[in-house]
A = this chain, B = another copy of it.
Amino acid sequence: MNFKEITISQKYIHKGKIINLRVDEVELPSGRKSSREIVEHNGGVGIVAINEKKEIILVKQFRKPFEEVLIEIPAGKLEKGEEPIKCAVRELEEETGKKALSLKLMNILYTSPGFSNEKLYIYLCTEMEDGKVNPDEDENLEIMYVKYEDALNMIYNGEIKDAKTISGILAAKKFI
């Protein structure tokens, strides 16, 4: 089956701090024309960090698009050209004060493939040592240590809603 949508033209609507927005005019396999709104994002990392007590480190933070405080795994955006694994080490330490001693890439997650190219590298970290907390200026974070089994319950009772956090916690089950 031919799936390819050929780009006829591309127009940037917005080039911003975190995202760009462009609209592509495309030709569908049927020959019909359509348009696609595409949010460009540089991608990021998320870290499922589980300590020797089987506690997972979660962060609470305000998310403006929902006007809600969400519970998420530590995560952050890739800087231009940054290797995902280096970003994961940096973000975990900045947000939680824990320095990863080893990281395992579990998934590369496409968060909203209908309209965005955001790609998140999801790591599992089960070996860490104490480092130094240093959150970004724009971030207000609160750290939580939650038993892995309790975190599973928080997925099923709706307390955890963030996609990378749900898929990361569930995917880790195989390895711990």
Contact = CB atoms under 8 A, between A and B. Distances in A.
* 6 A-B pairs with the lowest CB-CB distances in the bound complex, closest first: A3-B62, A170-B170, A65-B117, A167-B167, A163-B163, A63-B113
A91 interface: no
Number of copies: 2
A17 B36 CA distance: 9
B39 A115 contact: yes
A176 interface: no
B37 A16 contact: yes
Contact of A109 (B19, B64, B161): B161
Given A38-B65, A167-B170, A3 B114 contact: no
Contacts of A131: none
Interface residues of A, number: 70
Contacts of A109: 161-163, 166
B161 A171 contact: no
Interface of A: 1-5, 13-14, 16-19, 21, 23-24, 26, 28-30, 32, 34-41, 60-66, 69-70, 72, 77, 106-120, 137-138, 140, 142, 155-156, 158, 161-164, 166-167, 170-171, 173-174
B140 A28 contact: yes
Contacts of A61: 3
Given A19-B115, A66-B113, A120-B163, 5 more contacts: A1-B60, A16-B23, A41-B115, A65-B117, A116-B116
